[in-house]
Structure 1
Amino acid sequence: MSLVPRQLTEANVLDVWESGLAGPPAARSLLLASMAAPSGCSVADLPLSALNSLLLELRRGAFGDALPCAADCPECGECLDVTVAAGELLPSGGGGAVAATATVTSYGRTVTYRALTGRDVRAVDPAAPGARQTLLRRCVLRVDPPAHDLPDEVLEDVARRLADLDPGADAVLTLDCPQCGHGWDAALDLAEHLWTDVSGYAHRLLHEVHALARAYGWTEADVLSISPTRRQFYLEASTG
């Protein structure tokens, strides 16, 4: 198995963008993470912190370390524009390759559970009734004494411990509003942030192909074979 990860480049970004268009957000997350993973790695079975590490590394390599973000203050509604370094969001240790397990005793039942994986998130429709409980049940490995269906209270005990089991599974920004002074934690969807970058880049690239195809009669392959610097020259020359 090759240990060399693939990269997001002009040569494949259009294929990645087109492949991700029809899928739900969870599928796009796995698609993007696979671009930064070693060939043959099953990204769907990685814990969420490891997936986030791959997404951040891909983002740094393709678009740089700085992630511009926007959030509305929940207290006064002020819109905050902040920039965070991707390196600051990397999980400590880079995220494990295997979902860790742990045990908790709750309401008379001993529950062994594991960290959530990309496959778990992909399998559950977030809009479906009871989606949260369905997702939590997927990470339960064993119950003693056995139970056909765990009460929600037990599942919530498991949920409260998942962050300790897999630090870095959720990317969180600590923000302070300069307008009213309110402080809060805001979740950052790394996959969606990266997908926005990929989609924006793909659209810009397609517009360049369109403009140069009209000006010179070139095919898409012709345009993409030209370096970005030379392509920019031809774009300027065609409109000059």
Structure 2
Amino acid sequence: MPHRLTEANVLEVWEDGLGSNPAARSLLLASVAAPAGQSVADLPLSAVNSLLLEMRCGAFGDALPCTADCPACGDSLDVTVAVGELRPGEAGGGTGEGGAVPATGTLTAYGMTVTYRALTGRDVRDVDPTAPRARQALLRRCVVDVSPPADDLPDEVLEQVARRLPGLDPGADTVLTLNCPQCGHCWEAALDIADHLWTDVSGYAHRLLHEVHALARAYGWSEADVLSISPTRRHFYLEASTG
């Protein structure tokens, strides 16, 4: 059965994620929603996103409030998106031991036949986005075979691989189509599901820690004492201690 984000583990998840980069944090959050024993690092990005959406829906509800600035007029747009609208129709891979596996494709260019696969969470985590030629390094990780063998691939071939990746794993990127009510401009904006979820987790952890602090100061309880009390009763004690 999938794990869940609960009061019993949210502080641990938040603490573990504090020192992580965004890609590692995404895998940390996905691992909480994954079935016990499943490694999420080698799942295609669409499967990672599905786990993140499942966690978001279960812990914080179906509605994702988003804000974007219109690139044409600069007006700020508030949009609420339902989690169901963001779920990929098909994960980018087959189903093997441990879950979805990255789908593969082939292309022929510059006299070479290149077999490539969908990006995984491990690929994104292990490539420093600030490093020189990070994009090319990420794309090379997708290449699983070149015939005839070649020590290196031209950037033009890697870009052909890049253009085919969205079709290989349609849920890897989450893009919203937005329409500005002020000027009528229509554009596409990327939604970082992991970043959105981390903001929710971080906010919840901070609120929980403030409750622990207030009740520990008021009643001398330990953190474990406070967390063992249901949220409803905790709210009562918080009100009573400040009344």
Answer yes or no: same fold by TM over 0.5: yes
Is 1:9 paired with 2:6?
A: yes
Is 1:25 paired with 2:22?
A: yes
Is 1:235 paired with 2:238?
A: yes
For the 8 Å contact 1:109–1:145, the answer to whether it is kept is yes
Q: How does 1:36-115 map to 2 (within 5 A)?
A: 36-94=33-91, 96=93, 97-115=100-118
Instruction: Tell me the distance in 2 between the aligned counterparts of 1:94 and 1:56.
Output: 13
For the 8 Å contact 2:136–2:155, the answer to whether it is kept is yes
* Structure 2: unaligned runs, 5 residues or longer: 94-99
Q: How does 1:186-225 map to 2 (within 5 A)?
A: 186-225=189-228
For the 8 Å contact 1:53–1:95, the answer to whether it is kept is no
Output the TM-score relative to the length of structure 2: 0.96
Deviation string 1:188-213 (CA, Å, 9 cap, x unpaired) is 00001000000000000000000111
Instruction: Tell me the distance in 1 between the aligned counterparts of 2:53 and 2:75.
Output: 28
Deviation string 1:132-173 (CA, Å, 9 cap, x unpaired) is 110000000111222211111110100000000001000111
Instruction: Tell me the distance in 2 between the aligned counterparts of 1:126 and 1:81.
Output: 29
Using the TM superposition, give the Cα deviation of residue 94 of structure 1 relative to its aligned residue in structure 2, in angstroms. 4.8
Instruction: Tell me the distance in 2 between the aligned counterparts of 1:74 and 1:115.
Output: 31
Residue identity opposite 2:203 in structure 1: G
Instruction: Tell me the distance in 1 between the aligned counterparts of 2:115 and 2:70.
Output: 38
Q: How does 1:137-148 map to 2 (within 5 A)?
A: 137-148=140-151
Instruction: Tell me the distance in 1 between the aligned counterparts of 2:11 and 2:104.
Output: 38
- What residue number does 1:173 align with? 176
* Structure 1: unaligned runs, 5 residues or longer: none
Identity %: 80
Residue identity opposite 1:52 in structure 2: N
What is the DSSP-based 3-state SS (H/G/I as helix, E as strand, rest coil) of the residue aligned with 1:71? Answer: strand
Residue identity opposite 1:150 in structure 2: L
For the 8 Å contact 2:215–2:237, the answer to whether it is kept is yes
- List structure 1 segments (4+ residues) > 6 angstroms apart after TM superposition: none
Output the TM-score relative to the length of structure 1: 0.97
Instruction: Tell me the distance in 2 between the aligned counterparts of 1:122 and 1:177.
Output: 34
For the 8 Å contact 1:99–1:115, the answer to whether it is kept is yes
Instruction: Tell me the distance in 2 between the aligned counterparts of 1:73 and 1:92.
Output: 28
Instruction: Tell me the distance in 2 between the aligned counterparts of 1:144 and 1:93.
Output: 30
